[in-house]
Amino acid sequence: MVRIGTVVMGASDVRRAAEFWKAALGLVEREPAEEDWVVLVPAGGSGAGLALGLSDTPVQEVPRVHLDLYTGKQDAEVDRLIALGAVRVNWDLYPDDPDFVVLADPNTSDYRF
């Protein structure tokens, strides 16, 4: 059996993306960040990590991969993530009564919860 160890995402600014995701998810750097690479892991030690690598690939309008984030306090968490630099995405694929919000991180990697 295999499991997800680390999700790897491209970022146009690795340090800025790392600061966002550390604050958003309570992650810490496994080793000191480099200009082009960092691996973030859960502060508590268990769970999947998030690696950020420098990328100059253009952001896809509708990314093929995103992160689903879960919380019992959606409105408060959306506000908190926006305060950290996330932005609401004007997504034309919302169902009539969505139970999620689509946000883009400061590097415009799409994710929803």
CB of 68 closer than 8 Å to CB of 113:
yes
**Mean pLDDT throughout 69-73?**
94
- What's the pLDDT at 111? 45
Is residue 108 scored above 60 in pLDDT? no
What residue spans define the domains of the chain?
6-56+65-112
- What's the pLDDT at 10? 92
- The class (CATH top level) of 6-56+65-112 is alpha beta
Q: State percent of the chain over pLDDT 90.
A: 63
DSSP secondary structure string for all residues of 53-111: EE--SPPPSS-S--EE---S-HHHHHHHHHHTT-EE---TT--SS-S--EEE-TT--EE
Question: pTM here?
Answer: 0.85
pLDDT, tens digit, for every residue of 14-52? 999 999 999 999 999 999 999 999 999 999 888 999 999
Rounded to the nearest 5°, which phi and psi values hold at 47? 115, 170
